[in-house]
Amino acid sequence: MNKEEILAKSRQENKNRDIAEIDRARSASRFAMLFSLCFIVIYTMLSLFATSRVNYGMIATEFCMIFAMNLHKAIKSRTSADIAVAALNGLAFAMFAFMAVCELFGLKP
């Protein structure tokens, strides 16, 4: 295999994206998740102080994003660790979504 064949194969595997570009996208998504988790924590604490209630809908939305990212990773890699992480995040999302629906309709679980 010569240099051009190796480069062509690498471009095909990475969908014509540069490794640095892929790394920047990963870093940006990690930063966005961390930033949004910090926002949820701060908002939840303020909500508890102001109203003595938690907005489960916002927390469910956050876990939905995290679950979707981990589910995609689990589908692509098919490793047991990624599948377990996706399953746990899916469980957390389902729990908070259930609580949000109960809160929305005034039901007591």
pTM score of the predicted model: 0.74
DSSP string, 54-105: --HHHHHHHHHHHHHHHHHHHHHH--HHHHHHHHHHHHHHHHHHHHHHHHHH
Q: What is the pLDDT of residues 31-44, one digit of tens each?
A: 998 999 999 999 99
Between helices 56-77 and 19-51, what is the axis angle to 10°?
Answer: 160
Q: What is the pLDDT of residues 49-85, one digit of tens each?
A: 999 999 999 999 999 999 999 999 999 999 999 999 9
Rounded Cα distance, 42 and 17, in Å: 36
Rounded Cα distance, 24 and 17, in Å: 11
